[in-house]
Structure 1
Amino acid sequence: MIKIDDYAYTSGLKDVHPIEKVSFALTFLFFTILSKNNLVAGFTFTVMSIGVLFKAKIPFIVYLKLLFVPFLFLMTSLVAILFSIAPINQEELGVVWRAEIGLWQIYISSYSFQQSYELASTILASVSCLYFLVLSTPLYQIMWVLKKGKLPTVFVELMGITYRFIFVLLEKVNEIYIAQSSRLGYQNYRSWFSSVAQLIVSLFIKSMRSANELQIAMDSRGGDEHLYDVDLSMGYNRGHFVIIFISFVTLFMMYIMTKS
């Protein structure tokens, strides 16, 4: 998480106006979710990956590791869609693979395989859009866009506070883990479970203290100040809007062609 924030602030696209980056990413995300088509998803994933690797200049290994996390969760979720269970005497159409266990059979149908493939491609393409935005846009730029979008101030500031507390909690987790490891807290299974339980309790107490300190600091200033007033002085690039328009037209044509 900390590394993602570091890459956002050192990205090759950090000086590009956030409206341009958000519009570009959301255009691809919108058509990917709307079409749920493999061609559109593949095009989206390719364009977003090129943007992340060559424009934002994120290392390939880092991007691969980031994609591996949602891919792992995706594979575990697709099991329920890909495999079906039915009585052994029940005939199923379009069976690609089948295994019999007693009076039951586990099988993969052509329909479930196609559905899983389309779902996986759509999700990975959508994740690549979000990674493009997160890895190229610092938090203060995203919050500026949210405020310009007339979202409630409470929502925007809660988002900023939550994001801030993620790093606070990660730092405290690391401190507690180092302290426990230095006392051989993870040398066997019994001590491992005990140490993890103590870490969770300590983290909860420290997070409550941090939240209380933040509330006291806000109350001492009257409680009505905006914590994240962002003033952005960045210019627009007409060339980027031309690229966004071309991308929109291309995706729209691909959507129409795949629908027909």
Structure 2
Amino acid sequence: MIKIDDYAYTSGLKDVHPVEKVSFALIFLLFTIISKNIWVACFTFTVMSIGVLFKAKIPFIAYLKLLFVPFVFLMTSLVAILFSIAPIYQEDLEVLWMAEIGLWQIYISSYSIQQSYELATTILASVSCLYFLVLSTPLNQFIWVFKKVKLPAVFVELMGITYRFIFVLLEKMNEIYIAQSSRLGYQNYRSWFSSVAQLIVSLFVKSMSSAKELQIAIDSRGGDEHLYDVDLSMGYNRGHFVIIFFSFITLFMIYIMTKS
């Protein structure tokens, strides 16, 4: 999480106006989700990955590691879609593979494979869009965009506070873990479970303490001031809007040409 924040503030796209980045990513994201077209999803994933690697200049290995996390969850979901169960006497099934267990049969059909392809490509393409945004847009730019689209101030401030507390808790967790490890707190299974339980309790106590301190700080200033007042002095680039427009046209043309 800390690395993701570091990449956002050192990205090659950090000086690009957030409206341009958000518009570019959202067009690809929404078109991918709505169309559910494999070729659109592949094109989206390719464009977003090129943007992350060559424009935002994120290391290739770091990008692969980030993709690995949703990929693992995706694989577990695909198992439930790929394999179907039906009574052994049921007919008219387009079966590509089948195994019989008692009175039931586990099988893979052409329809389930098609669904798996669509789900996998759509999810990976959507994740690449989100990574493009997260890895190229610092928090203050996100907050500025949220304020411009008139999201409730409570939502914006809660997001900012939550984002801040993630790093506070990660730092506290690392400190507690180092202290426990120096006392051989993870040398066997019994001590490991005990140390993890103590770590969770300590994090809960520290998070409540930090939240109380933050509330006292807000109340001491009257409690009615906004925590995040962001003012950007960045300018728009017309060339980027031309790219956004042609991206939409390209996505639409790919969808039309590959629509079955």
Give, in angstroms, the shift of residue 92 of structure 1.
5.0
Deviates more, 1:93-102 or 1:209-218: 93-102
Give 1:70's aligned residue: 70
Structure 1 residues 177-256: aligned runs within 5 Å: 177-256=177-256
Structure 1 residues 130-209: aligned runs within 5 Å: 130-209=130-209
C-alpha separation between the residues in 2 aligned to 1:98 and 1:176?
51
4+ aligned runs moved over 4 Å, structure 1: none
What is the DSSP-based 3-state SS (H/G/I as helix, E as strand, rest coil) of the residue aligned with 2:100?
Answer: strand
C-alpha separation between the residues in 2 aligned to 1:74 and 1:41?
15
Change (3 A) 1:92 1:212: farther
Whether the 8 Å CA contact 1:4–1:135 is kept in 2: the answer is yes
- Paired letter, 1:192: W
Q: How high is the sequence identity, in percent, across the aligned residues?
A: 88
Give 1:85's aligned residue: 85
C-alpha separation between the residues in 1 aligned to 2:259 and 2:132?
27
C-alpha separation between the residues in 1 aligned to 2:187 and 2:55?
45
Give, in angstroms, the shift of residue 25 of structure 1.
0.3
Give, in angstroms, the shift of residue 256 of structure 1.
2.9
C-alpha separation between the residues in 2 aligned to 1:71 and 1:92?
33
Report whether the alignment pairs 1:258 with 2:240: no
C-alpha separation between the residues in 2 aligned to 1:253 and 1:7?
33
The root-mean-square deviation of aligned C-alpha atoms, in Å, is 1.1
Give, in angstroms, the shift of residue 190 of structure 1.
1.3
C-alpha separation between the residues in 2 aligned to 1:92 and 1:84?
14
Deviations 1:197-250 (A, max 9, x none): 111111100000000000000000000111110010001111111100100111
- Paired letter, 1:80: A
C-alpha separation between the residues in 2 aligned to 1:63 and 1:158?
28
Give, in angstroms, the shift of residue 28 of structure 1.
0.4
What is the DSSP-based 3-state SS (H/G/I as helix, E as strand, rest coil) of the residue aligned with 2:14?
Answer: coil
Whether the 8 Å CA contact 1:31–1:255 is kept in 2: the answer is no
Give, in angstroms, the shift of residue 99 of structure 1.
1.9
C-alpha separation between the residues in 1 aligned to 2:259 and 2:146?
33
Structure 1 residues 103-142: aligned runs within 5 Å: 103-142=103-142
Matched positions, count: 260
C-alpha separation between the residues in 1 aligned to 2:178 and 2:99?
48
- Paired letter, 1:71: F
Give 1:28's aligned residue: 28
**5+ residue gaps, structure 2:** none
- Paired letter, 2:4: I
Give 2:54's aligned residue: 54
Q: TM-score if structure 2 supplies the norm length?
A: 0.97
Give, in angstroms, the shift of residue 180 of structure 1.
1.0
Deviations 1:101-147 (A, max 9, x none): 23322211111111011011000000000000000000100110010
- Paired letter, 2:135: L
What is the DSSP-based 3-state SS (H/G/I as helix, E as strand, rest coil) of the residue aligned with 1:132?
Answer: helix
What is the DSSP-based 3-state SS (H/G/I as helix, E as strand, rest coil) of the residue aligned with 1:187?
Answer: coil
**5+ residue gaps, structure 1:** none
C-alpha separation between the residues in 2 aligned to 1:80 and 1:217?
49
C-alpha separation between the residues in 2 aligned to 1:258 and 1:224?
54
